[in-house]
A and B are shown apart, each in its own frame.
Chain A
Amino acid sequence: MKYILILLGAYLYTVSIPHTVYASALHFSTDRSTISVQDDFVLQVFIDTEGESINAVEGGIIFPDELLEVKEIRDGNSAINLWIERPKLDPTQTIVFSGVSPGGLQGDKQQLFSIVFTARKGGRGVFYGKDIHALKNDGVGTEDVFRGVTSPIVVSDTSRNNPIRIAKAEDTEPPEAFTPAISSEESMFGGKFFIVFATQDKGGGIDHYEIREGESGVYVTATSPYVLPDQSLTKTIYVKAVDMSGNERLATMKALGVAWYKQYGIFAILIVLAMLVFSMYFRKKRRNH
């Protein structure tokens, strides 16, 4: 009896010491509890860093593709600041993504992105993360232990009279202001000048970027890094970030290497001076007559 008590005491003592086991986990949450065939619904993907500071995440999300079809992927207002690969559907029906948040994320409900699905068929399935790597903000990128979590989903066979439709997110705010940068690297693009740019949209997410060189050029769709057609850097560069709802944010990069006679300010002064000289000359002529 005494030994049992001792053992029990030792066991209770051990389990009562607060153990801190750190890991990360992916969580899913849907916006509806019941889903019927032909319904749209939103699946949010969160990361729980469980006390760790994580600054880089990559992996894939597996969904029951015999039941569901991806309608839209929303990466706006994400806890990830810079995407290396924006979340997209790959040929193996996995949603792959990778990105970083300099400074580190910490928290139990950090939203990475959300997916709008359309239910095509009734049945049961699961969502889970595949090959998820979460790296710690420790300067060496130590991999954090990852706990796999599976989330079940049930789609009911009978569709509603009015299937739920989810339209594109209503967003009237433009993307955040940003500052592009011009650089060159001997190992890239043969050492040519290129421009880099990135920003975030707190609504539906960034759709694409456009660039125009100079006042009279046309806007072309561009991805960062973008090799500048005009390598002389004499034109002002306009970079536009366009979000999913068409809101735009413009960033301007003044020309870096502009010849003095091409700058409009100096040009205007020259014209005024020329006019002054001309008017003085005419006045003199009139006086002479």
Chain B
Amino acid sequence: MRFIRKLFLGCIFSYIFMFVGSFCAYAQEFKSTDFRALDPVLSSGSFATSTSFRLFGSISEIAVGTSTESAFSGISGFLGFPYVSSPVVSATAGDGQVALSWTASSGVLGWTVTTYDVGQGTVSGGPYSYTAVGNVTSSTRTGLSNGTAYYFVVRPRDAFGYPIATSSAVTSTPVASSGGGPSGGGGGGGGGGGPIPTATTVIFSGRAYPKSTVTLMKDAQIVATTVAGADANFQISLSGISGGNYLFSLYSEDNKGIRSSLLTFPLSVTNGATTNVSGIFIAPTIAVDKSEVKRGDTIIIFGQSSPSTEITITINSEQEFFVKKPSDKDGVYLVNFDTSVLELGGHSTKSKASINGEISPYSSAANFSVGTKSVTAKPQTCVSRGDLNNDCRVNLVDFSIAAFWYKRPLSEVFAQKEKKQLNGDGKVTLVDFSIMAFYWTG
């Protein structure tokens, strides 16, 4: 029996090794007490065939993500480059229930999210019991006990049904609804007061950069700022707001003063309830040391994110390049990229961070061009577009200035500004407002 099991395991492992191509030519030795696979030699480039098998050379990691269990499964390679961002989850406590809603995970480069799982548990960090909820972005978990803290995670699944990311846990404690009639001894006045109404509160928690300032905007206006901890975690509590639909945005500034892209999500706030929002993973900042680089020279791509997180940097080109690098204990990452593989012309680079299955959205793009000489990049302190009054911010004042010139012939002075800060077509149209809305800082 043991021999058959050995043989079975050996077959499985050699089957997997066949797909690893020239990577295995480095003659690694895999062994356990049950088996040994020595120096698998496989040729790369072309593929070998026979009537019973075909071998494609490919370079990939063997196993990233999940495996084990009686039904052996190894999900390898492409999951090492995540293309969907984790959902931002909000939980509103109700009577014996929690209403969850989350942002849709959008995939790029062909990844599609087909369904979501909601994991529910009573201990932070798990174990969670998962329920598939379909391709929706909200779910109400019922049958819960009031006064008990519950923890929820949301996992998007890809077209093959594999979970490809996870949100961070959001917690909520269902409360009995206030306003249930007084028991016994009714009549007017007297006795203890009525139930204390809960103030409408929203608590945001997430990750930014160590000791960075995190700014929260509600419906395009700044309402709160906080400083993240040394571990890059932050929490902001907002109270005294009315129930209704809001658009919240968050951004942070790194240790060099570079601003991150906006992380925006809609939130429906219920009057008198406490809503917890978590899974806010602010995208890394990114910058390059040269605005133009001589082909063949190295360009330095750097930025900041949470400490000890895996950063994936993409450099766009005719063929997209990916580099993975962990950030250090201060969240700083730096990559020396050899530009000999890039063609001449303009390029852009962006990055995203991932830790424990949580994936941040993409950073804003840093642009550079590959040419015949290297030019050091000027330090970028202000927003590049949309700042009409030169205060290094894009907010209601700039919006009002643009609104003044909307559908009006522009003056000489303002036409210059429109050329530099907006789309430069000589008039103020919806496109100019859209540009400001993208670069908004509040």
Binding site for B on A (CB under 8 A): 18, 20, 51, 53, 55-56, 58, 77-79, 81-82, 84, 98, 100-107, 110-111, 133, 135-141, 173-174, 176-179, 181, 183, 185-188, 194, 196-200, 202-203, 224-225
Cα–Cα distance between A199 and B241 once the two chains are bound (Å): 13
Cα–Cα distance between A283 and B247 once the two chains are bound (Å): 66
Of the listed stretches B9-17, B300-308, B429-437, name the one at the interface; the rest are far from the partner chain. B429-437
Q: Which residue of B lies closest to A198 (CB)?
A: B396
Q: Are A101 and B437 in contact (CB under 8 A)?
A: yes
Q: Which residues B390-442 have CB closer than 8 A to chain A?
A: 395-397, 399-401, 403-406, 411, 413-414, 417, 423, 430-440, 442
Per-residue CB contact flags for chain B residues 217-245 toward chain A (1 = under 8 Å, else 0) read: 11111110000000000000000011111
Cα–Cα distance between A135 and B436 once the two chains are bound (Å): 12
List, sorted by A's number, 29 A–B pairs whose CB atoms are closer than 8 Å. A53-B264, A56-B433, A79-B245, A84-B403, A84-B430, A84-B433, A100-B399, A100-B434, A102-B262, A102-B442, A103-B217, A103-B437, A106-B103, A137-B438, A139-B439, A140-B431, A140-B435, A173-B243, A176-B218, A178-B221, A179-B222, A181-B395, A185-B389, A185-B401, A187-B405, A187-B413, A196-B399, A198-B399, A225-B403
Chain B residues near A224 (CB-CB < 8 A): 400, 403
Majority secondary structure, B binding face: mixed
Cα–Cα distance between A138 and B348 once the two chains are bound (Å): 14
Question: A110 → chain B, closest Cβ, in Å?
Answer: 8
Binding site for A on B (CB under 8 A): 103-104, 106, 112, 137, 159, 217-223, 241-245, 247, 249, 262, 264, 266, 385, 388-389, 395-397, 399-401, 403-406, 411, 413-414, 417, 423, 430-440, 442
Q: Are B395 and A77 in contact (CB under 8 A)?
A: no
Q: Are B244 and A77 in contact (CB under 8 A)?
A: yes
Q: Are A101 and B397 in contact (CB under 8 A)?
A: no
Question: A187 → chain B, closest Cβ, in Å?
Answer: 4
Cα–Cα distance between A185 and B416 once the two chains are bound (Å): 13
Q: Are B437 and A133 in contact (CB under 8 A)?
A: no
Chain B residues near A183 (CB-CB < 8 A): 389, 397, 401
Q: Are A176 and B241 in contact (CB under 8 A)?
A: yes
Q: Are B218 and A101 in contact (CB under 8 A)?
A: no
Q: Which residue of A lies closest to B249 (CB)?
A: A103
